[in-house]
Amino acid sequence: MSTSTEIKIPGYIAGTWTIDQSHSEVGFVARHLMVSKVRGKFENFEGSFTTGSDPLQSRTEVTIDLSSINTGNEQRDNHLRSSDFFEVETTPKMTFKSTGVRPDGEGYLLDGDLTIRNITKPVTLHLELNGFGADPWGGTRAGFSATGEINRKDFGVNWNAAIEGGGVVVSDRIQIALEVEGVLKTD
């Protein structure tokens, strides 16, 4: 015997959406010297998502330009672009491709494959649906927030240095924070 749970989302619209980079953010947080958090983001990315007629059949694909990293410190950003971290000369892009969506309390879990430095690992993000609605230009928008955490060493991003008194310069665990706004494709 099987049971079916129909998911009802107020204002939900099925369709394909282009991510609006100017109203979206791909951000992260890393611990620095074990005493503070450094926040950063990637300025250039592109992608789309499809909201299925069954919300659990939705999917997304995103490509992020690693050279567009911005932590507010040019010297640090250049170091992050180097072979110590992202090695943008040989691996300029990071990608995420979803593999599934599942309910999780009031929100959802978005499973997918994240690729950094040509290493692909499964990642699960906590997904919050922010809503669907008309925009002032005659289009339709959808918004989502997503958070998660990865271990950078899983992707070959291994550089670190010990600090006097114990600890290291950069945490292995990196928090991910995404704000995504999409525009419904009409063609």
For residue 70, what are the domain limits? 24-184
- Those residues of the chain that have pLDDT short of 70 are 1-7, 169
DSSP-derived pairing of the beta strands 69-70 and 45-51: unpaired
Residues 6+ apart with CB under 8 A from 49: 16, 17, 19, 58, 59, 60, 61, 98, 142, 144, 180, 182
Residue 14 within any structural domain of the chain: no
Q: What is the pLDDT of residue 5?
A: 53
We report the CATH number of the domain holding residue 122 as: 2.40.128.110
Residue 5 within any structural domain of the chain: no
| Cut 0.85: pTM above it | yes
Residue 12 within any structural domain of the chain: no
Residue 2 within any structural domain of the chain: no
Q: What is the pLDDT of residue 163?
A: 79
> 132 pairs with which residues across the strands?
142
Residue 84 within any structural domain of the chain: yes
State pLDDT tens for residues 131-165.
Answer: 999 999 999 999 999 999 999 999 998 887 777 87
Residue 172 within any structural domain of the chain: yes
Q: What is the pLDDT of residue 75?
A: 96
Say how many domains are in the chain. 1
Residue 9 within any structural domain of the chain: no
Burial-class residue 85 by CB neighbours within 10 Å (0-12, 13-18, 19+): buried
Q: How far is CA 21 from CA 49, 88, 97, 140, 180, in A?
A: 13, 21, 17, 15, 8
